[in-house]
């Protein structure tokens, strides 16, 4: 049994015994968020995207939780889409990795000098969730499944020529080859990219 030294603190006439702070090795690992908490975190983040008459109603369609880099802190992975009426840009259809907020994380702050109460409320919702977007990647097709194996995020999707989720070049949606596609995504802090392995 490990012995712990205590520090005695006198407050007024009350003597308190305070155990020492735990070292990094003794701290319990951070509990990962539940899938419901992950969904709420994704929804809070998406509230910060301003909609318009071309694209609006940004919504998560899939959420997952995994420790992608093995550091003991879970990341949230989500995929989202939108309602889109057409335009000179691709409809949002993205996979995103969220990381836990740190104490002074700028991702949880309201826009500087903003007088909008909505902006302040949206920023507060992000802070309350404890997570914010780190990086994302556009998926140019209809997502069929997403699964996570270790540090890899596998996305299966179907491509249809001219789909609104494909890259826009000269006002035309240019897609990869038609048919079923399977991408493997790899996340490192600040970057989510496609990999061949």
pLDDT digits (tens, 9 = 90+) for 48-63: 998 899 999 999 999 9
pLDDT above 60: residue 40: yes
Four-residue CA torsion sign, 176, 171, 142, 38: positive
Encode pLDDT of 156-177 as tens digits: 999 999 999 999 999 899 999 9
Mean pLDDT lowest for which of 23-37, 94-108, 120-134? 23-37
Residue 93 in contact with residue 84, Cβ under 8 Å? Answer: no
4 confidence band (pLDDT: 50, 70, 90): very low
What is the rounded CA–CA span in Å between residue 120 and residue 61? 25
- Closest by CA to 96, choosing from 178, 10, 179, 191, is 191
What is the rounded CA–CA span in Å between residue 65 and residue 97? 10
Residue 7 corresponds to which tokens in the numbers above? 């520090």
CA 47, 148, 187 angle in degrees (round to 5)? 65
The H or E element that residue 8 is part of is: strand 7-11
Neighbours of 111 (CB within 10 A): 12
What is the rounded CA–CA span in Å between residue 125 and residue 45? 8
Rg over alpha carbons for the chain, rounded to the nearest Å, is: 22
Residue 87 in contact with residue 111, Cβ under 8 Å? Answer: no
């Amino acid at each position: 049994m490990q012995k712990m030294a205590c520090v005695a603190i006198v407050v007024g006439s009350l003597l308190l015994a305070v155990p020492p702070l735990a070292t990094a090795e003794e701290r319990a690992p951070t509990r990962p968020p539940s899938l419901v908490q992950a969904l709420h975190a994704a929804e809070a983040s998406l509230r910060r995207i301003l909609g318009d008459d071309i694209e609006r109603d940004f919504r998560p369609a899939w959420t997952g939780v995994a420790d992608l880099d093995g550091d003991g802190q879970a990341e949230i992975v989500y995929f989202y889409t939108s309602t889109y009426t057409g335009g000179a840009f691709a409809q949002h259809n993205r996979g995103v990795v969220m990381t836990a907020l740190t104490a002074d994380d700028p991702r949880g702050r309201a826009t500087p000098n903003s007088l909008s109460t909505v902006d302040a409320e949206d920023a507060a919702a992000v802070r309350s969730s404890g997570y914010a977007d780190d990086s994302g990647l556009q998926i140019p097709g209809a997502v069929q499944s997403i699964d996570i194996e270790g540090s890899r995020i596998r996305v299966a999707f179907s491509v249809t020529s001219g789909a609104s989720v494909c890259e826009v070049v000269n006002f035309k949606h240019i897609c990869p080859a038609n048919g079923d596609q399977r991408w493997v995504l790899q996340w490192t802090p600040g970057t989510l990219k496609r990999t061949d392995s």
